[in-house]
Structure 1
Amino acid sequence: MKRRRIHSFKAFRSLCLPVAAGALSVIIGNGCMLGPNYLPPPVTIEDSWIYDQNKHLNSLEVVNPFWWQVAFSDPILDDLVDMAISNNLELRSAALRALQAQQLLAIAIGNQYPQLQQIEGLVDRSKYVRSGVPGNYQTEYYFNFNLTWEMDMWGQLRRLVNSAVADFEASMAEYDGFLISIIAQVAQTYINIRTFKRRIDVARDNIHIQREGLRIAEAKFRAGEVSALDVEQAQTLLSNTEAAIPGLEIFLQQLKNTLAILLGMPPQGLNDILSAPSTVPHVPATTAIGMPQDLLRQRPDIRQAERLLAAQGELIGVARAELYPNFSIGGLIGAIDIRGGELKGSSDAWDIFVEFDWNIFNYGRLRSNIRLQDATFQQLVSDYQQVVLQAQVDVENAIVAYLKSQEQQVLYATAAQASRESVNLSMTQYTDGQIEFDTVITTMVSNLQQQDILVLAQGAVATNLVLVYLSLGGGWEVQEGISPIDLLPEEVKEEMRLRSHYWDRILD
């Protein structure tokens, strides 16, 4: 199978000319940007999936963002997914982390502009007394403010903005990762609930069969045709099967409780919502999975790892900029007004300055910081490549589990049909006295096991299909383009607004 190298990586040093003392126009300008400039590193991607020729897969069509609607066509599941997207607390926390990253980006952008450092004001009323002379009153008014502007000579501030942009994009990718995980968990839990309800129905169906077997054994015992052993064996099997139902109901309720957590509500609130049928969902004949190259766009964890890498790449340039002098332009404007007394009048004052500071004696520490940032970057390169590699393995594992579970389902269905026929035949032959009750017991035990295994196999096919979609990264697009603040429900935004009016402009 061919492999493809995706992207290329190139790091180069940006060359900057020294700033002459009289080159004020250069100082006022933005200056250069110390590198390296970031490009995504190469990753190895397969050209095709191992089982892409299977009739149940379609690698030419991309994954539908609303895959759960296409795959299962279940209005109840659709409603549950919508509720989880709106109310899941883990997802809400991820949205708030993205909002925090957005505000950090705004701070980084604001740091590029002149900063009002200080505003001072003074009102002073004094009385001056000299020997033998009446006192005079004097009032002094004083006001000034000053501004400073850090010149981005070496691109340090711009690099910090670029890093904050990448961090924000990484936080949005993290949210997307939580989103597809929550959707998949809701779908799997819902499928498991329906599977367990079907298992309970299967157990009850077998209880009816076993009660009929007990009735026949009791009738033959009363007629003197068999011993009490047949009755006791029939009763033992029946009681064990009846005892299995409470165990299944325990797991069923626990699954409902898990679903309630995913929906962000207490368990009691789910009873009025969930009315899942006691059948296992069917899967479509074919499933669109796209090509391996689509993973770079679809998988949120890949995008998050790449964006974290980009953010770190910018910090190398920030660290390099610390080797060079830092220039600032500042100014002060003030006014003084004196009334009364011997000194009267007003005056204005202003001051403009250009200053710089240079950590020239800390070069050892600064160079170590550059190496630190670069080593961190190289580590994140390996992490990113590992995430891409693991993503392909996840998809291949999910695909093989899905396809092989379908094969198992077909075989288990054949076995389950044969076991039902064997129960009917054994009951008839036992009634006619052709076989011993041990054979009937064996067929009944086997039938219960085969019917239960078939239900589990059907559930495995459906849950494995969910794993395929999860591994492909499908579903996050349903929230694409929405700002972090709009990912929050209205009641949360109102709570934030009541706590601080500084949200008004963003929330309106």
Structure 2
Amino acid sequence: MRGHDGARRAKSTGGPFFLGTAPLLVVVVALGGCTTVGPDFARPEVSLTENWGAKGDPRIATQTATDIQWWKAFNDPALDRLVELANQQNLPLQVAGLRIVEARARLGVATGQQYPQVQAAFGNVTAQGISKNAANVSGLDTHFVNYELGFDAVWELDFWGRYRRGVEAESDNVLASVADYYSSLVSLTAEVARTYTVIRTFEVRIGQARENERIQQEGLQIAESRFRNGATSELDVAQATTLLESTRATIPQLQAGLQQARNALSTLLGQPPGMVEELLAGPQEIPQAPALVAVGMPAEILRRRPDIRAAEFFAAAQCARIGVAKADLYPSFTLFGTIGLQATSGAGTSFNLGDSLFYSLGPRIRWPFFNYGRIKNTVRVEDARFQQLLVGYRNAVLQAAQEVENSLAGYLNAQETVVFEQRAVNAAQKSVELSLVQYREGAVDYQRVLDAQRSLLQQQNNLAQARSSVATSLIALYKALGGGWESRQDQPIVTEPTLDEMKKRTNWGEMLTQPSAPETKKSPEPAKH
């Protein structure tokens, strides 16, 4: 910091002042940066089972790693294209990518704090005047100009590791933001696949409803023919009409659901509604799950799931912040200095800035020991937050394991349901065929036909939902396993249009395109349990 009185004293005492402070400066600099307070982070231990509950099921492979591009297991080119476009265009994913850029900038700020915190050139010209009556001193120069030109510097030495811990916290925060980005990517991919499955399910159900409409129209024609010929009463016609119109009424409802699902898919792709119809060209079939699914071992979710890694890095960052807070419990050592030129010109004085050197240099010690517990309680706040994140990490691991187990159970049981529902549909189709023939021949009344047709539509809907459940359960399983983010590791996190827009406003250097040092570290391996 700079003060004019100190500057003038420096001019008068010069060398002796500097020589007197030099030994102390050397000692402070030598001691700076030799201690780091606060705990070092260690990943919390979490107990996991050695195998999933479905161990031994022939449809599940635990010794094989989960497929990186798991959505391609459905062998659906339309789905592949939708996932690719969503990864490029989804707006919330772009926001997650920009949070990485923000974290990089914050790391840059923390890194800069390790060096002189104040580095500023200064200069001013001040004209001053004093009334002769106010001065009341004969011969006093009442009008003069003061000139100053110099440089200030203040450097708080990182004696207790405050700034090193700050860099550590922001480095972990960068890694956490990267993990959050990949977690968003996992969720996005799964949501695109799930929404696509919902769309195909609606399309199948609409097709089934129209086919049943055709069958029921045929039954109504038979009832009308028999009524005209006096073979039956008008009741059969009324019943046939009721069933037909009831079936027709379901079609607009299904179409509304279909359109809503398409709109949701458009939003996932970062497009306005009505822009996905061409992308959905192809067979209107529910995605077929593969016969064998690779899930790996339970411990692998600690490495594969980005949200778990994010929870770990957030906890590590908070651990470092405890050290930042603890540093305030100890004295701080600061080096300060000012050097410059100062001269005054006025009546009767000569102006020679070159001969007007002044400087101020020295160490400063600050120790706020009378703080009434504020610093200690700040440390306690940071420690409590850290403990919350540790517990949250353990909970995230357990929830991840639960999600995998739930999805496995849903997937395997849905497959069994499909087998039974397919048999029920086959039997219902046979019943409709037989009941129509028997009704046409007068062997049964129309109630048999109505029951058979209602049952067919219901069983077909059940089968479609069961097939959809197989696909969505498998999608949920891959999401729970944390699959899919690896395919985007080498892809840009900021789109070209956004890149150009941001560069027009601010000089970002390579921060928008190049990863920071923490991001180039090797990904943590799963803990041994």
- TM-score, length basis structure 1: 0.89
1:269 aligns with 2:275: yes
Q: Distance in 2 between matches of 1:75 and 1:335?
A: 74
Alpha-carbon shift at residue 129 of structure 1 (Å): 13
Query: Structure 1's 64 and 78: CA in aligned 2 closer, same or farther, altered over 3 A?
Result: same
Alpha-carbon shift at residue 488 of structure 1 (Å): 1.8
Give the aligned partner of residue 261 of structure 2: 255
Of 155-164 and 433-442, the range deviating more from structure 2: 433-442
Query: Structure 1's 126 and 201: CA in aligned 2 closer, same or farther, altered over 3 A?
Result: closer
Alpha-carbon shift at residue 463 of structure 1 (Å): 0.8
Q: Deviations over 1:443-487 (max 9, x none)?
A: 1110111111111111111111100011111112222255xxx31
Give the aligned partner of residue 152 of structure 1: 158
Alpha-carbon shift at residue 140 of structure 1 (Å): 6.2
Query: Structure 1's 342 and 45: CA in aligned 2 closer, same or farther, altered over 3 A?
Result: same
Query: Structure 1's 390 and 136: CA in aligned 2 closer, same or farther, altered over 3 A?
Result: closer
Contact 1:111-1:157 within 8 A present in 2 as well:
yes
| Matched residue type, 2:234 | A
1:111 aligns with 2:125: no
Identity of aligned residues (%): 41
Alpha-carbon shift at residue 23 of structure 1 (Å): 6.9
Give the match's secondary structure for 1:367: helix
Contact 2:438-2:444 within 8 A present in 1 as well:
yes
Alpha-carbon shift at residue 21 of structure 1 (Å): 6.7
Match of 2:231 among 190, 208, 225: 225
| Matched residue type, 1:304 | A
Match of 1:210 among 200, 208, 216: 216
Give the aligned partner of residue 398 of structure 1: 407
Give the aligned partner of residue 194 of structure 2: 188
Match of 2:507 among 481, 502, 506: 502
The 5-angstrom pairing of residues 277-292 of structure 1 reads: 277-292=283-298
| Aligned-residue RMSD, C-alpha | 2.6
Match of 1:164 among 165, 170, 174: 170
1:74 aligns with 2:76: yes
Give the match's secondary structure for 2:44: coil
Mark the runs of 5 or more structure 1 residues left unpaired by the alignment: 1-19
Q: Deviations over 1:1-43 (max 9, x none)?
A: xxxxxxxxxxxxxxxxxxx978716645412111311111111
Alpha-carbon shift at residue 492 of structure 1 (Å): 1.4
Give the aligned partner of residue 13 of structure 2: none
Q: Deviations over 1:382-440 (max 9, x none)?
A: 11111111111111001100100000001000110111111111112222222221111
Give the aligned partner of residue 239 of structure 1: 245
Q: Deviations over 1:236-285 (max 9, x none)?
A: 11111111111110100011111111111110322343325321111101
Give the match's secondary structure for 1:146: strand
Q: Distance in 1 between matches of 2:314 and 2:512?
A: 28
The 5-angstrom pairing of residues 11-410 of structure 1 reads: 24=27, 27=30, 29-69=32-72, 71-123=73-125, 141-336=147-342, 342-345=349-352, 346-362=355-371, 364-410=373-419
Match of 1:445 among 454, 459, 462: 454
Give the aligned partner of residue 420 of structure 2: 411
- TM-score, length basis structure 2: 0.85
Q: Distance in 2 between matches of 1:233 and 1:191?
A: 35
Alpha-carbon shift at residue 166 of structure 1 (Å): 1.3
Q: Which has the higher contact order (CA 8 A, sep 6+)?
A: 2
Higher strand share: 1
Alpha-carbon shift at residue 100 of structure 1 (Å): 1.4
Contact 1:296-1:302 within 8 A present in 2 as well:
yes
Q: Distance in 2 between matches of 1:40 and 1:30?
A: 26
Q: Distance in 1 between matches of 2:256 and 2:92?
A: 26
Q: Deviations over 1:351-370 (max 9, x none)?
A: 32111100111262222222
Query: Structure 1's 122 and 372: CA in aligned 2 closer, same or farther, altered over 3 A?
Result: closer
Q: Distance in 1 between matches of 2:24 and 2:126?
A: 43
